[in-house]
Amino acid sequence: MDRFTLCLEDGLLEKLDGIVAERGYPSRSQAMADFIRRAIVKKEFRRGASCVGTVSIMYAAGRKSPAAELEDVLVANSRLIVSQQTVFINRKSALLVIAVLGRPVELQEFADSLRAVKGVTHGSFSIVSDM
């Protein structure tokens, strides 16, 4: 483990402690390590390095479900998919969670194409650097 000293302008430490408490980090060090990892991921994303991530899609279940159209998008992008799981939340809603691997631009386009399907009520894309 590496150690370093960090000097902050007045008031920042108090704000950091608020974030630590709010997000449930066990320590300031854990929070800072997470912030640094997030910065690295953003840099890797811009650089175009291969990344892993998740795409989560909520959609209307039932007779008018967009499942067939979603499946078409999944098949067309199968090379990016590591795994997928569908969970039926209730009779009206389903959650599709997809683990993905590829270049950031491709993954973003894939996530956008899933979110664009009529009947999708929510979509999120989370990416992590392939370290």
User: Do residues 78 and 31 touch, judged by C-beta distance below 8 A?
Assistant: no
Query: CA-to-CA distance for 100 and 109, rounded, in angstroms?
Result: 12
Name which of 72, 75, 130 is nearest 103 in CA terms: 130
Residue 131 has pLDDT above 60, yes or no: no
Greatest distance between any 2 Cα atoms in the chain: 59
The pTM for the full model equals 0.71
Query: What number is the average pLDDT over the span 41-59?
Result: 84
Supply the pLDDT for residue 90.
Answer: 93
Supply the pLDDT for residue 106.
Answer: 92
**Residue 119, Ramachandran bin (φ over 0: left; ψ between -120 and 50: alpha; else beta):** left
Residue 38 has pLDDT above 80, yes or no: no
Supply the pLDDT for residue 130.
Answer: 62
DSSP letter assigned to residue 55:
E
Query: CA-to-CA distance for 30 and 38, rounded, in angstroms?
Result: 12
48: its two tokens: 């175009």
User: What pLDDT, in 10s, does the model give residues 102-127?
Assistant: 988 899 899 999 999 999 999 999 88
User: What pLDDT, in 10s, does the model give residues 55-93?
Assistant: 999 999 988 889 999 999 999 999 999 999 999 999 999
Supply the pLDDT for residue 104.
Answer: 86
